[in-house]
Structure formats: structure tokens, C-alpha cells
């Protein structure tokens, strides 16, 4: 019985800890998938270079807020949490490469 309770507590603690991890880390964002999704859903108006200097974490937060309707955007976005993390990882990586070239 005590062992079962310990497992429940450990699982609960793990879930709480996971909740404090950025979504992209929890989902193991896929840069290549982010490139594909951004080209399909975002490239009409945006390029990866538009986000120069932005981190993947800040981009992920911004995109999440756009999807939630908290930030104004030209058109409503419908993206899964994985797509948000993937796009942010792709754009964040691209923006860091652009910074290094200077």
C-alpha cells in the first residue's frame, strides 16, 4: 500500500515538473517539421528571417498567444501544440543562424 502511494506521489510530482518545462522541450520540437508547417501555413506572410534575434521560447509563447486569440493576427491560426513548438524551433534556429553571420 505504501509503495502504491509512493508511485502516485512520484507520478504527480513528475507531471507538475513537466508542466514547468517549456512546451517545445516537453514535445521535443522538430525543426524540419517546423519548416514544413511554416511553409504551408505561414509563408504567405512570414519568412524565418522575420524573427531574427528571437529565441525559440519567445516565439513559441507568441505563437501560442496568437492561436489562443490573445494577440492580433491577420487571420485566425489553427495549430496543434506540436506545430507551435515545431515552428518556433525552426524560426528560432533560423534567427540564431542569421545572428551568427553578422
Residue span of the structural domain in which 50 resides: 22-100
The percent of residues in the chain predicted with pLDDT above 70, rounded, is 66
Cβ contact 73:14 at 8 Å = no
**Which string of b and e fits 40-69 if b means at least 16 CB within 10 Å?**
eebeeeeebeebeebebeebbbbbbebbee
Tell me if the pTM is above 0.85.
Answer: no
- Which pLDDT score, from 0 to 100, does residue 1 have? 52
The reply to whether 1 falls in a domain is: no
Mapped onto helix, strand or coil, the DSSP state of residue 99 is helix
The reply to whether 12 falls in a domain is: no
Q: Which residue has the higher pLDDT, 7 or 47?
A: 47
Mean pLDDT within 8-15:
46
Mean pLDDT within 25-47:
87
Q: How many domains does the chain have?
A: 1
Q: Which of 26-30, 85-89, 98-102 has the highest mean pLDDT?
A: 85-89
The reply to whether 13 falls in a domain is: no
- Which pLDDT score, from 0 to 100, does residue 49 have? 86
Amino acid at each position: 500500500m505504501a509503495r502504491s502511494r509512493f508511485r502516485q506521489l512520484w507520478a504527480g510530482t513528475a507531471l507538475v515538473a513537466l508542466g514547468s518545462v517549456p512546451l517545445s522541450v516537453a514535445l521535443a520540437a522538430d525543426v524540419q517539421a517546423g519548416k514544413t508547417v511554416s511553409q504551408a501555413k505561414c509563408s504567405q506572410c512570414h519568412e524565418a528571417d522575420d524573427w531574427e534575434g528571437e529565441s525559440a521560447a519567445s516565439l513559441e509563447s507568441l505563437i501560442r498567444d496568437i492561436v489562443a486569440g490573445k494577440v492580433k493576427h491577420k487571420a485566425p491560426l489553427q495549430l496543434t501544440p506540436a506545430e507551435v513548438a515545431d515552428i518556433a524551433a525552426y524560426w528560432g534556429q533560423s534567427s540564431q543562424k542569421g545572428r551568427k553571420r553578422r
